[in-house]
């Protein structure tokens, strides 16, 4: 599964306690930080060296400076995009996890609705964005709907895979102890599914942000996506990269929040174990 692959790539190594954890954090964040610095320096040097005009590619230093010196300008846009993403994502979780539980526990539901859900994924959702504008207007709700649509499926799919892939022996074990249906679900099936569910949440939160930006592309008064369109039409590449910079900070931040929740709720998960 794509989600599983992403999970294993993203799997943080080691979450012991105390010092070891802090040590792991540093060793986790240092390499990508250094790599980013190297790329930025090369980029900066290339622009000086080849005298690239501003409207083609800005100096990274200029874009980064703009990000922080003009924070007051970005703040309302960041805030809107963040709201759209978070509301849409929470809504997607609230709808897709119960749906997954239902689909997995009632076999005819899966037969009847799963093909429909897959089909709904094949439809290019961006094509629907103008329609959402007509239905819900230029405000935040049409973007939330787009976020929901993009984030719903990966979360649903991973929750389903997690719930369905319960080891048969674990089921046997619980049955031989006389577990009720509720005990089976809450004590066995759900905890066993959490690692795969979290993989879905990580994919979902990334897609949620993309959903918000796409929604704003089509028509919005505010938001980082709106800012991208604006910067593009003015050939203001520094502004464009500054907006992209803020978007990536949002994306990484949201991802790290899910990652932290994962560490807190399933510290036992194999990928979290300190390596020997």
Nearer to another protein, 188 or 250 (CB): 188
Rule CB under 8 A: choose which of 17, 48, 176, 233 binds another protein: 176
Site for another protein in 194-253 (CB under 8 A): 194
Number of residues binding to another protein, judged by CB under 8 A: 22
Distance CA 208, CA 254 (A): 10
183 lines the binding site for another protein (CB under 8 A): yes
Cα dihedral sign for 234, 235, 236, 239? Answer: positive
Site for another protein in 251-270 (CB under 8 A): 266, 268-270
Rule CB under 8 A: choose which of 169, 233, 264, 275 binds another protein: 169
273 lines the binding site for another protein (CB under 8 A): yes
Distance CA 60, CA 65 (A): 8
Q: What does the block give as tokens for 61?
A: 């230093």
11 lines the binding site for another protein (CB under 8 A): no
Considering only 23-31, 65-73, 114-122, 163-171, which stretch makes contact with another protein by CB under 8 A?
A: 163-171
Q: What is the CB neighbour count within 10 angstroms for residue 168?
A: 7
Contacts of 247 (CB under 8 A, 6+ apart): 81, 209, 213, 224
Question: Per-residue string for binding with another protein, 73-92, x by CB under 8 A?
Answer: --------------------
Instruction: Write down the residue that tokens 């239905």 correspond to.
Output: 135
CB of 275 to another protein, least distance (A): 12
Nearer to another protein, 188 or 247 (CB): 188
Nearer to another protein, 253 or 274 (CB): 274
DSSP class per residue in 90-105: HHHHHHHHHHHHHHHH
Rule CB under 8 A: choose which of 8, 172, 249, 260 binds another protein: 172
Contacts of 161 (CB under 8 A, 6+ apart): 1, 3, 196
First CA to last CA across the chain, in angstroms? Answer: 27
Distance CA 61, CA 250 (A): 20
Residue numbers at the binding site for another protein (CB under 8 A): 167, 169-170, 172-179, 183, 187-188, 191-192, 194, 266, 268-270, 273
């Amino acid at each position: 599964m794509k989600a599983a692959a992403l999970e294993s790539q993203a799997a943080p190594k080691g979450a012991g306690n105390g010092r070891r954890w802090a040590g792991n954090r540093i060793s986790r964040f240092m390499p990508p930080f250094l790599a980013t610095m190297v790329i930025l320096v090369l980029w900066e040097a290339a622009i000086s060296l080849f005298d690239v005009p501003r409207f083609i590619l800005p100096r990274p230093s200029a874009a980064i400076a703009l990000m922080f010196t003009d924070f007051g300008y970005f703040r309302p846009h960041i805030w809107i995009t963040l709201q759209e993403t978070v509301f849409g994502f929470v809504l997607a979780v609230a709808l897709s996890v119960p749906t997954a539980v239902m689909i997995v526990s009632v076999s005819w539901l899966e037969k009847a609705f799963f093909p429909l859900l897959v089909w709904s994924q094949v439809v290019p959702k961006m094509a629907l964005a103008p329609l959402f504008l007509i239905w819900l207007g230029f405000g935040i709700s049409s973007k939330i709907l787009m976020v929901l649509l993009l984030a719903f499926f990966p979360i649903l799919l991973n929750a389903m895979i997690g719930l369905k892939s319960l080891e048969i022996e674990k089921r046997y074990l619980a049955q031989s102890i006389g577990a009720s249906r509720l005990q089976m679900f809450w004590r066995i099936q759900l905890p066993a599914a959490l690692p795969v569910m979290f993989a879905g949440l990580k994919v979902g939160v990334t897609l949620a942000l993309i959903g918000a930006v796409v929604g704003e592309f089509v028509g919005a008064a505010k938001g980082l996506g709106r800012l991208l369109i604006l910067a593009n039409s003015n050939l203001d590449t520094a502004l464009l990269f500054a907006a992209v910079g803020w978007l990536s900070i949002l994306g990484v931040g949201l991802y790290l929040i899910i990652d932290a929740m994962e560490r807190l709720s399933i510290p036992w998960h194999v990928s979290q174990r300190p390596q020997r």
